[in-house]
Amino acid sequence: MSIDRRQFLQASAALGAWMAWPSPLFAAEQRKERLIELIPSVFNTALDPASETLTGVWSFNEQFPGPVQRFRRGDSAHFAVKNQLPQDTAVHWHGVRVPNAMDGVPHVTQHPIPPRGSFDYRFTLRDSGTFWYHPHQSSFEQVPRGLYGALIVEEDEPPQVDRDEVWVLSDIKLDARRQQVEDFGRILDVANDGRVGNQILVNGLVAGAPRKLEVRAGERLRLRLLNTASARFFRLAINGHAATIIAFDGQGVVPHPLPAEGLPLGPGMRVDLIIDCMGQPGQSFAVRDLGRPPIVPATQLGTLAYGAQPAVRSKPLSSPIALVPNQIAEPDLGKAVDHYIIFQGGMRGAPVIGLVDGKPSRIQELITKQGLAWTMNYNAQHEHALMHEPFLHLKLGEHVLLHMINETDFVHPMHLHGHFFRVMAVNGVANPQREWRDTVIMGPRQSVDVAFVADNPGEWMYHCHILDHAAGGMMGTIAVE
């Protein structure tokens, strides 16, 4: 079936089924649709307010990172994307459960938006949470050039806080003139840990002590952290505070403390923290990335800076912080169908055979001749344009237990579109938290089992969020039909 035909059938099927979803959301008073223009273009930004130098980036609406989009649950969004870039694009809403035709994946859910072209994305925000948006066209280049922004959907009854802050964490690779090194998609990065920048950014500014998050003693702070870097992992820690995790990837979890050894946040992933600011007026504390010494040194991301005013309260608020869960269909393991995905490839590790367009080839040949370095179920796929068949077919409404088996020596943050999954087990050991996620870290030589109900019809991307890995073959689609 041609892409166009498949696409058309898919879009109409997806829209039909979406309308039929029973949800109290639609019974409630329909809020007005909000029209938001999103214009990706070439832009110069000051990464360091203390310096005169401007750095060329690609950005949305001449803001870097793109403007924070804030909604209430149940709102309808209409994003009019007008492409001012020198190349095709398409915008994806990471973690937002949208109808398939609105998912922003070129050649799979829509035609790419050509330079000076536009596309209208319209959808209702049925889940609350911390999400983000970024192009899905040549992501390995367009995202690190600067195209990313936060998309926040507030709960019907959010936990009571004094401040709700968003920190978009990323990095950038700069040369001596503080301009971007334009070495996107090098096979050396593709086949290893991906292209990691040499400068960490917080909300588009160089990380470090001057990145102050100003608070007042006694306040309760909600801090939403997003990792929009192409390949960098963060390991988050906050000095002098007991921070509580309330959500992963936008979905509420049983509140629990930020681990002392730091919280790993892989590319694509988010965490929501509640911090009771029980320091003294005038004090400041470092928010840190513990890195991965000795390879990746620890870095101060920013500072929790207390103003001079007296404390607003002497004891932390006692109001509950647990989030009211979103409505996500609960997988029933009793009737779940097992599916398996095996991951192979990379610069280190056993040589394997991979299939490209159905033809077997040695990994070394894939790397040197095709620029591909990874396989999922023995297949290496080029970016969307040449993508053929979904590598998994799920029945609409099927309960799925997906076993992901990483036979590589590398870590992969695996992301599924259109759905959330529960993380059931790691290396066969049950995960007591069973949290919902849209992106999960799969360590080297690790197996991770996730469960979900395939209830959103369409062809959905499933890929590594190290964007060079996705470009190098670790990308495919799962059809729900």
- Please report, as ranges, the residues that interact with Cu ion according to CB under 5 A: 412, 464, 466, 469
- Between CA 34 and CA 59, with CA 110 as vertex, the angle to 5 degrees is 60
- Between CA 69 and CA 72, with CA 71 as vertex, the angle to 5 degrees is 165
Label the pairing between strands 374-376 and 429-430: unpaired
Position 437 contacts ligand C2O (CB under 6 A): no
Which residue lies nearer to ligand C2O by CB, 73 or 417? Answer: 417
Instruction: Residue 464: name its binding partner from ligand C2O, Cu ion, none (Cβ under 5 to 8 Å by kind).
Output: Cu ion
Question: How near is the Cβ of 60 to Cu ion at its closest, in Å?
Answer: 26
Which of 92, 270, 399, 469 lies at the binding interface for ligand C2O (CB under 6 A)?
Answer: 92
Which of 159, 197, 252, 268 lies at the binding interface for ligand C2O (CB under 6 A)?
Answer: 268
Question: How near is the Cβ of 342 to Cu ion at its closest, in Å?
Answer: 14
Question: How near is the Cβ of 150 to Cu ion at its closest, in Å?
Answer: 23
How many whole angstroms separate alpha carbon 306 and alpha carbon 384? 48
Residues 213, 302 contacting (CB under 8 angstroms): yes
Closest CA to 4 of 138, 121, 96, 101: 101
Site string for ligand C2O, 382-421 (x = CB under 6 A): ---------------------------------x-x----
Position 250 contacts ligand C2O (CB under 6 A): no
Question: How near is the Cβ of 470 to ligand C2O at its closest, in Å?
Answer: 7
Which residue lies nearer to ligand C2O by CB, 142 or 375? Answer: 142
Both structure tokens of 408: 């590589």
Peptide bond into 67 cis (omega under 30): no
How many whole angstroms separate alpha carbon 248 and alpha carbon 224? 10
Position 136 contacts ligand C2O (CB under 6 A): yes
Q: Which stretch binds ligand C2O (CB under 6 A): 44-52, 217-225, 391-399, 460-468?
A: 460-468
Position 463 contacts ligand C2O (CB under 6 A): yes
Neighbours of 335 (CB within 10 A): 9
Position 422 contacts ligand C2O (CB under 6 A): no
Which residue lies nearer to ligand C2O by CB, 55 or 69? Answer: 69
Instruction: Residue 384: name its binding partner from ligand C2O, Cu ion, none (Cβ under 5 to 8 Å by kind).
Output: none
Cα torsion angle, 353, 404, 103, 149, sign: negative
How many whole angstroms separate alpha carbon 55 and alpha carbon 49? 12
Query: Which residue carries 């969307």 as its tokens?
Result: 384
Alpha-carbon distances, residue 242 vs 1, 132, 220, 260, 314 (angstroms): 55, 26, 12, 9, 16
Q: Which stretch binds ligand C2O (CB under 6 A): 82-90, 195-203, 425-433, 461-469?
A: 461-469
How many whole angstroms separate alpha carbon 387 and alpha carbon 369? 18
Binding site for ligand C2O (CB under 6 A): 92, 94, 134, 136, 268, 415, 417, 461, 463, 465
